[in-house]
Every structure is written in C-alpha cells, then in structure tokens.
Amino acid sequence: MEPLRRQFNIDNDLGRKQKALQSLHALGSFDDFKQYAEKHELYSAAIELCKYQPERLKSLVKAYADYLAGRNRYRDAGIAYEYVGDYASAIPAYRSANLWRQALSCASILPLAQNELMALARDLADGLTESKDYQSAGIIYLEYLSDVELAARLFCKAYLFANAMRIVTLSGRPELLTEVVDPGIIESFNSTTELLADCRSQLAAQVPRLRELRLKKEQDPLAFYGGESTNGKENGDIPDDISLAPTDASTAGTFMTRYTKRTDGTLASNASRKTSKNRRREERKRARGKKGSVYEEEYLINSIGRLIERVNSVGDDVARLAESLMRRTMREQALNVERSMSELVQKCKEIVPEVWQVEQEKKDEDSDVPTGADGVLWEATTQGTRMSPPIVKAFERLSLLE
C-alpha cells in the first residue's frame, strides 16, 4: 500500500479513528473522508480539517446539521443550517427548538411567500400562547400579523399593561383602552387577588401545623419519631424494622439514636437501614411527606419555601398591575392589591426565622451524618437547621397609595 493508505488502515484497525480521518484527508479523497466522518460521527474533527476549504466545509456542516436534527438537537441544527445558508431547513429546526425569533428571521431572509410567512407566524404565536409566553406571542401578532387587538390582550396577560396601552394608542385605536386593556387589567387584578389570598391561606394553615409538630417533637420525641408515646398512646406510623418492645431501659435511647444521634452508644445493628433498597423506600416516604409521618416537618418547610419563591416572582407583576390600575383610574383596586401584597411580604419575612430556625446552630458535622436509609431520615429531621433560609424580596409600593 502507499504510505498514507497503509497508515489509515493501521489507525483504523487499532481504533484510532481521528488519526485515520487525518490520513484520509491527506489522501485527498473527499467522498471517502466525508463518508468515514459520518460513519464514526467525527463531524467536528472533519470540519476542523477542512476549515480552509469553503465548499468542503459547507458540505460537512450541512451533513452535521442533518445529524443534529436527527438527534433532536434542533437549536444547534438550526444554527448549522443557517451557517450554510439553508434557511428552508433552518426554519423547522428553529421551530422545533421553540426559537421563534430565529425561525421568523430565516423565513424573511429566504423569503417565504407572504401567506406562508403569516401561517408560520400564527402557528408560532399559538404555540407560545399555549406555553404561556404571552409577551412573545403578542410581539408576533403585532409585528407579523398586524393584529393590534389580540397583541394588546396578550400583553395584558403578560402583565405588560404599559406596552398594551402604548400599541393601541400608537395604532390610532384609543377605543381599545376601554374595550381590551381595561378588561385585561381587571382580569389580572382578579387572578392576582385570588393568588395572594391562596398564599395567605397556605401560610395560615402550614405555619401553625409546623409549630405543632415541633412542640410535639420537643415534648414527646419518641411519639414524634414513630415510636410509642411516653403517655402510653401509640403512633400508627411505626418504622417497619424497629422493635419497640420495652425490654430494657435503653429502648428509648436506641430508638432516638436512629433519628437524632443523641446517645452515648452506637447505633444498634438491627436498627440500621443501610441497604440501597431501604434507602429508596425511605426516599419515597420522604417525598410524600404524609401528614403525621416523621417527614411532614420537612415537607412543610419545603412547601413554605416554594410559596416564598412564588411571592418573590409575582412582585414585579403586582407592581405593574397597581401602576396600571392607577393609570386607568381604578384607585381602590390598586390600593387593595398593593396592601395585600405588602401584608403577604411582611408575613413571609416574619416567619422565615421561625420556619428555618436561623438562630439555631448546626450541631453535627457532615462526617457524622448516617448513611443509607438512616441518612434519609437524618436529612429530613434536621432540614430546618441545614437549609439556608430564603430571602424575601422587598415590595416597593406606589407613593400615591401609601
């Protein structure tokens, strides 16, 4: 064999595919080179070798784009198609990746016929509306479909009331302020008021329940952790591998060790849950956070944490809503929603130290944490002191309403 062909066969037989590809490139047979790159998915290496050969580079990038699209990597495929100027293929790739800006840009460059462009825009807008990306859907209806009324409705759903007011006045249709924008503001006011009320109700139910659980844990730890209550009453949620028969004075100490590690001795071997099977079972129990179980406390802490995240996320929406209510002469509604939001934020700030027990120091080092199912229980029962407390985002009220 000639030296390069011999070197290719040696590298290929030894599994050195990239070196074999380099030998094929040096041989100058592009068809064999491309076929080998496709077979062994060496697109990046092949593209690097041909980066100064425009036509070959374009062919390889196109093949790579087809490969990426076939692997559902639509964003990268769209970019690759656009790189080689194949806008017709880039449009469906971008569309599958929910990249509406890139899809419409390629459609305009191609260009698509006007009716096809509008059909594409409408499909994209409908998909964005279904996924609740109302702002993007509104932009499409405004800029590509010239539907000012529907765009204004969508902006209102996105709490972008100022945008809705601007486009209806800019288009010379001020009557849409009362026909579209005002109803949109009222709808958002109603849904926001309901949301804030639900949050208040959740706090009113969960924080007292958390206090109740912690008081029970302090007053009767054995009953809290699923054993027999010190007052003689039994708890029905007893771990299935723990013997609670009062055979000696160390029973309570051994049982508590399983959950709190507060003992002078070591964990009894027959009370250990260190197999992966038992750990998975314990993880499922923990995820459910069943009421009355040892995991309920952690479940409540996580639930309150998610509530605070939700409150933080709607703060800007509420501020824009209050501003728009004032602009549309609905002062009472603006005052109502601002007051509700301020009270909820204040309540969240007040309960954070209590729920996450920020004043309590961590008593155990990570190296002392049990493994297996015992570790699951330990993590759950110490969750309040191990988690970083959330930061409650401040809510700034309109000075007109203070």
d(CA 187, CA 182): 9
pLDDT given at position 114: 94
Please give the single-letter amino acid code of residue 54.
Answer: P
Q: Using omega within 30 degrees of 0 as the cis cutoff, is the peptide bond preceding 111 cis?
A: yes
Q: Return the closest-CA partner of residue 195 out of 305, 46, 314, 72.
A: 314
pLDDT given at position 222: 76
Secondary structure letter of residue 113 according to DSSP = P
d(CA 157, CA 296): 36
Crossing angle (nearest 10°) for helices 372-381 and 276-288? 20
Helix (H, G, I), strand (E, B) or coil at 128: helix
Q: Where are the domains of the chain?
A: 188-221+275-401
* Per-state percent for the chain, helix, strand, coil, to nearest 5: 70, 0, 30
d(CA 278, CA 353): 34
Give Rg (Cα) of the chain.
Answer: 32
Task: Collect contacts of 152-157 with beta carbons under 8 A, ≥24 apart.
Answer: 152/176, 152/180, 152/181, 152/184, 153/180, 153/184, 154/129, 155/184, 156/180, 156/181, 156/184, 156/185, 156/187, 156/188, 157/184, 157/188
Over its length of 402 residues, how does the chain's per-residue pLDDT go in tens digits? 888 889 989 989 999 999 999 999 999 889 999 999 999 999 999 999 999 999 999 999 999 999 999 999 999 999 999 999 999 999 999 999 999 999 999 999 999 999 999 999 999 999 999 999 999 999 999 999 999 999 999 999 999 999 999 999 999 999 999 999 999 999 999 999 999 999 999 999 999 999 998 888 888 787 776 644 445 444 444 344 333 334 344 444 444 444 444 444 444 454 454 566 666 665 666 665 566 667 788 889 999 999 999 999 999 999 999 999 999 999 999 999 999 999 999 999 999 999 998 765 444 444 455 555 555 555 655 554 456 899 999 999 988 877
d(CA 137, CA 124): 8
Q: Return the closest-CA partner of residue 269 out of 354, 169, 370, 173.
A: 370
Q: Return the closest-CA partner of residue 85 out of 125, 57, 113.
A: 57
Counting DSSP H helices and E strands in the chain, the numbers are 21, 0
Question: In this structure, are residues 64 and 56 in contact, taking their beta carbons and an 8 Å threshold?
Answer: no
The residue ranges of DSSP E strands in 212-298, in sequence order, are: none
d(CA 99, CA 97): 5
pLDDT given at position 243: 37
Q: Return the closest-CA partner of residue 225 out of 161, 296, 288, 303.
A: 296
pLDDT given at position 120: 96
Helix (H, G, I), strand (E, B) or coil at 199: helix
d(CA 131, CA 102): 18
Give exposure, 35-71, as e/b (b: 16+ Cβ within 10 Å): ebbbeeebbebbbebbeeeeebbebbbbbbbbbbbee
Helix (H, G, I), strand (E, B) or coil at 228: strand
pLDDT given at position 237: 43
pLDDT given at position 252: 42
Question: In this structure, are residues 97 and 106 in contact, taking their beta carbons and an 8 Å threshold?
Answer: no
Say how many C-beta atoms besides its own lie within 10 A of residue 120's C-beta: 21
